[in-house]
Amino acid sequence: MEYRRMGKTGLELSVLSYGSWVTFHKQIDEAPADELMSIAYDAGINFFDNAEVYALGESEKLMGRILKNKNWDRTSYTVSSKAFFGWRGKENKPNQTGLSRKHLVEACHEALQRLQLDYLDLFLCHRPDKGVPMEEVVWTMNTLIQQGKILYWGTSEWSAAEIMEAHRVASLLHLIGPSVEQPQYNLLERDKMEAEFTNIFRTVGMGTTIWSPLASGLLSGKYNDGVPEGSRFALEGFGWLKERWMVEDKLQKVRQLAEVANELGTAQSTLAIAWCIKNPDVTTAILGATKKEQLQENLKALDVLPALTPEVMQKIDAIMQTKPRQAEY
């Protein structure tokens, strides 16, 4: 395993990590979740990602039970939670979502209870909240750090301007600003990581825990000839995701990627994940997996990394046609 410092912080995260969105509670329960987290941990993964909204709190409870059973040394791994969407779904009332001091503090307490932990290593604002002053968000996160309930705070799917505003406020008030952002990043979604955020990586030095490295599985090639039974796009309630990704133009590109993977003698998913972590601005790529074979295949990305020469990267760019014009690397 390779470990990278999270932006300008001292924290070292494994370049591959494991998250529970869609999978925990909805697709897999105790035994497979235990097996997958164990494979991840044994491979050197030291970061597990979660959020209050995943399976409406049940994902954190499941991860918490596994962490308790495993009894791994608490200093050997890191865990995140994210607040914004709440966990009561349609029952959410005022103050049970968003980034107010009330919700952030309560969401932190609830995540700690569900995960059965004394502190969160990372606590992220799952989306920006235009209804809450930035001073309130920064003060609250700073207070949670001072109280020892969280160690680092960050953002997810914030714009560069919003992240810079948080840093401006933190600097003005001598408080601790956000140190990590969680954006989507994969071969089909490159703009934020390679264009919009270029300056914040160089200036305030945000780390990144990137999500959906396989575009929900599309980049593995599994959807090239339709939707396999039991896969994410076949799940009830996930039609919006299928509609978003199963577009002919995208599928054509994914089919062509198979040639590059074949030439390198690797699986397409392994190649797609290796491509993500080739970008040095990625601190960690959060893997999702419902089966151990998937996780094992995805973990091989580290072995494929050295094969991604400039020639191979150019070939991939020519197929995907998604490289933003401002990209610097």
Q: Among the candidate windows 3-11, 131-139, 243-251, 293-301, which touches ligand NDP by CB under 6 A?
A: 293-301
Cα 71 to Cα 188: distance, rounded to the nearest angstrom: 38
Smaller CB separation from ligand NDP, 201 or 223:
223
Q: Which residues pair with 48 in a beta bridge?
A: 18, 79
**If binding is defined by CB under 6 A, does position 254 make contact with ligand NDP?**
no
Task: Using CB under 6 A, pick the residue from 46, 266, 283, 290 that binds ligand NDP.
Answer: 290
Catalytic, 185? Answer no
Site string for ligand NDP, 172-211 (x = CB under 6 A): ----------x----------------------------x
**If binding is defined by CB under 6 A, does position 297 make contact with ligand NDP?**
yes
Q: Among the candidate windows 31-39, 85-93, 172-180, 291-299, which touches ligand NDP by CB under 6 A?
A: 291-299
**If binding is defined by CB under 6 A, does position 78 make contact with ligand NDP?**
no
Site string for ligand NDP, 204-243 (x = CB under 6 A): -------xxxxxxx--x-x--------xx-----------
Smaller CB separation from ligand NDP, 229 or 311:
229
What DSSP designation does 186 have? B
Give pairs for 287-291: CB < 8 Å, separation 24+: 287/16, 287/17, 287/18, 287/19, 287/40, 287/213, 288/18, 288/19, 288/20, 288/21, 288/22, 288/23, 288/212, 288/214, 288/216, 289/18, 289/23, 289/36, 290/23, 290/27, 290/28, 290/32, 291/32
Q: Among the candidate windows 87-95, 144-152, 285-293, 312-320, which touches ligand NDP by CB under 6 A?
A: 285-293
Positions 1 through 40 that interact with ligand NDP (CB under 6 A): 19-23, 27
Residues 36, 38, 44, 45: what is their CA dihedral angle, to the nearest 10 degrees?
50
CB of 242 to ligand NDP, least distance (A): 11
Smaller CB separation from ligand NDP, 83 or 175:
83
Give Dmax (Cα) for the chain.
Answer: 55
Q: Which of 3, 18, 41, 54 is catalytic?
A: 54
Between the alpha carbon of residue 124 and those of residues 81, 177, 215, 327, the distances in Å are 6, 12, 21, 26
H helical segments located in the chain: 30-42, 58-70, 101-115, 134-146, 160-172, 191, 198-202, 239-245, 248-264, 268-278, 292-299, 301-304, 310-320
Query: Do 170 and 243 meet the contact criterion of CB atoms below 8 Å apart?
Result: no
Between the alpha carbon of residue 133 and those of residues 92, 130, 137, the distances in Å are 21, 8, 7
Task: Using CB under 6 A, pick the residue from 157, 191, 196, 317 that binds ligand NDP.
Answer: 157
**If binding is defined by CB under 6 A, does position 288 make contact with ligand NDP?**
yes
Instruction: Show the tokens assigned to 29.
Output: 């329960």
Q: Phi then psi for 247, rounded to 5 degrees? A: -115, 140
Instruction: Show the tokens assigned to 118.
Output: 């004394």
Task: Using CB under 6 A, pick the residue from 55, 63, 193, 286 that binds ligand NDP.
Answer: 286
CB of 252 to ligand NDP, least distance (A): 19
CB of 243 to ligand NDP, least distance (A): 16
Size of the site for ligand NDP (CB under 6 A): 30
Smaller CB separation from ligand NDP, 98 or 213:
213
- Residue 237's Cβ-side half-sphere holds a number of Cα atoms within 13 Å equal to 4
**If binding is defined by CB under 6 A, does position 275 make contact with ligand NDP?**
no
Residues involved in catalysis: 54
Q: Which residues bind ligand NDP (CB under 6 A)?
A: 19-23, 27, 49, 156-157, 182, 211-217, 220, 222, 231-232, 269, 286-290, 294, 297-298
